[in-house]
Amino acid sequence: MKILVLNAGSSSQKSCLYEITGALPDHPPQPVWEAAVDWTHHQGFAQIKIKTAGGAVLEEEIRTTSRPDVIAYLLNSLAQGETQVISQPSDIQVVGHRVVHGGPDYKESVVVTTEVKAAIARLAAFAPSHNPANLEGIEAIEMSLGSIPQVAVFDTAFHAQLPDAAAIYAGPYEWVEQGIRRYGFHGISHQYCARRAAQILERDLHSLRLITCHLGNGCSLAAISQGHSIDTTMGFTPLDGLMMGTRSGSVDPGILIHLLRQETYTADELDQLLNKASGLKGISGISADMRQIVEAIAANNPRAQLALDIYVHRLRSSIGAMLASLGGLDALIFTAGVGENSPLVRAAACKAFEFLGLKVDLEKNEQSPVDQDISTSDSAVRVMVIHTQEDWEIARACWQLL
Ligand code: ADP
């Protein structure tokens, strides 16, 4: 089965093609074709990078801000030129989409129908910079490939069974009726990492209590019990919870009331402040990138040190909160850009939990572990680094649904 995966960000578009012959493999296969598109480098232009399993690489910049145009370009590059891997676009059997917000109704992946599209459009009110991009992707495929089956895989779905006590904010009860509750995000990554960890530990996922730490540009934790998320740090929006690259994470909502009263902020300005000018970047004044924060600390920059200290403090206290929701822990899992690549952050986070008998093997932690247990053999809790593979998780969902 040839499965095309589309993963749309607000100013990016990733895509890859998997080819599965026979049974669903246990381990993620290498995609036969991968593309990454970025609109942030050069205004008005899409920077496109495509590579194939055969070693072909294509890098191009095209003048367009249109996602449908770019998707048409990507489909062409699959079927012609040096990055060709299929005879014609109609060889693709299914297209899977990461859809950020599935709201209260979508608790599992679904085949896209007119009704599903209407729901994704409606839920744009909850995820204004993501759901419209996801819908554009679905419609661009309809335009190019007609009635090919498409599957929506929701980032909220893995958290759909959060108990009410974890999901409902202690605001007025009307919020519950208005759908204002914790949805949680990064569910595709949390789910993949949980399953992969169980596979590595040779345990049944349903018997494990796990905390998955997805630490990328966006950061969230999930407390996982009996194979599903029972608590998570992101909330109604992906702004809640941990300190992130440019996002504040949780702040006292009284600060927002104060700012609205004292200054004349508009909703868009507050949005910009909390989503783009906060987090590691806001505190350090240097960068949202953890690598640059660590470099600046080495050069004795006190604001970079403060940014890291806040990041670690928030990470530790939120792991503690997940721990309390689970009532115990079998494995603590690190994933995504920072989680997979920063031994410093992993060691600092784990240090706070030594009293539980959780012990990291510091040598293994330093050796760029991928899909490995980095705890000592006598540790009471496994500590793992898992390379997240969201695109494969989406392809799996397509395979299973069809
Ligand atoms: P996204 O959330 O956009 O998918 P990633 O999971 O790729 O992002 O994470 C990107 C972040 O990972 C970068 O901003 C950077 O801070 C961090 N990162 C990548 N490599 C390293 C590294 N070697 N050390 C520390 N942080 C890293």
- Ligand 1 centroid–CA 114 distance in Å is 36
- Ligand 1 centroid–CA 184 distance in Å is 20
**Bridge partner residues of 152 (DSSP):** 97, 110
In this prediction, residue 10 has a pLDDT band, given cuts at 50, 70 and 90, of confident
Nearest CA to ligand 1 atom 21: 341
Mean pLDDT, rounded, for 362-384: 98
Residue 129 pLDDT: 82
Residue 283 pLDDT: 98
* Catalytic member of 38, 69, 91, 155: 155
344 neighbors 305 (Cβ within 8 angstroms):
no
Q: Is residue 167's pLDDT more than 90?
A: yes
Rounded Cα gap, residues 331 and 194, in angstroms: 9
Ligand 1: lining residues by beta carbon, under 6 Å = 216-218, 245, 288-291, 336-338, 341-342
- Counting ligand 1 atoms within 8 A of each CB, the residue from 243, 341, 388 with the most, and so the one to mutate, is 341
pTM listed for this prediction: 0.95
The letter for the amino acid at 179 is G
Closest ligand 1 atom to residue 388 Cα is: 6
Rounded Cα gap, residues 379 and 42, in angstroms: 49
Rounded Cα gap, residues 242 and 249, in angstroms: 5
Average pLDDT, the chain: 96
Residue 127 pLDDT: 86
Nearest CA to ligand 1 atom 3: 217
Query: For residue 311, how many C-alpha atoms fall within 13 Å in the half-sphere facing its CB?
Result: 35
Q: Which CATH architecture has domain 2-154?
A: 2-Layer Sandwich (3.30)
166 neighbors 325 (Cβ within 8 angstroms):
yes
Closest ligand 1 atom to residue 336 Cα is: 6
Closest ligand 1 atom to residue 294 Cα is: 25
Superfamily of domain 203-385: ATPase, nucleotide binding domain (3.30.420.40)
Region class of 87: left (phi > 0), else alpha (psi between -120 and 50), else beta: alpha
Nearest CA to ligand 1 atom 12: 337
Closest ligand 1 atom to residue 9 Cα is: 3
- Counting ligand 1 atoms within 8 A of each CB, the residue from 38, 214, 217, 311 with the most, and so the one to mutate, is 217
Count of Cβ atoms closer than 10 Å to residue 24 Cβ? 11
- Ligand 1 centroid–CA 245 distance in Å is 9
Which residue's structure tokens are 């490995």?
372
- Ligand 1 centroid–CA 253 distance in Å is 28
- Ligand 1 centroid–CA 294 distance in Å is 12
212 neighbors 193 (Cβ within 8 angstroms):
yes
Rounded Cα gap, residues 371 and 335, in angstroms: 9
Mean pLDDT, rounded, for 269-297: 96
Count of Cβ atoms closer than 10 Å to residue 133 Cβ? 22
- Counting ligand 1 atoms within 8 A of each CB, the residue from 292, 312, 342 with the most, and so the one to mutate, is 342
Mean pLDDT, rounded, for 235-246: 96
Buried b (16+ CB within 10 A) or exposed e, 348-369: bbbebbeeeebbbbeebbeeeb
User: Which tens digits make up the pLDDT trace of 203-233?
Assistant: 999 999 999 999 999 999 999 999 999 999 9
Rounded Cα gap, residues 217 and 247, in angstroms: 9
- Ligand 1 centroid–CA 336 distance in Å is 7
Residue 307 pLDDT: 98
Strand ranges for 339-392 from DSSP E: 372-373, 382-385
Domain ranges for the chain: 2-154, 203-385
Nearest CA to ligand 1 atom 22: 341
- Counting ligand 1 atoms within 8 A of each CB, the residue from 7, 289, 390 with the most, and so the one to mutate, is 289
In this prediction, residue 399 has a pLDDT band, given cuts at 50, 70 and 90, of very high
| Burial grade of 125 (CB within 10 A; 0-12, 13-18, 19 or more) | exposed
Closest ligand 1 atom to residue 290 Cα is: 16
Residues 6+ apart with CB under 8 A from 323: 211, 223, 329, 353
Q: How far is CA 47 from CA 39, 59, 73, 396, in A?
A: 6, 8, 12, 28
- Ligand 1 centroid–CA 342 distance in Å is 9
Confirm whether 155 is a catalytic residue: yes
3 neighbors 20 (Cβ within 8 angstroms):
yes
The alpha-carbon radius of gyration of the chain (Å, integer) is 21
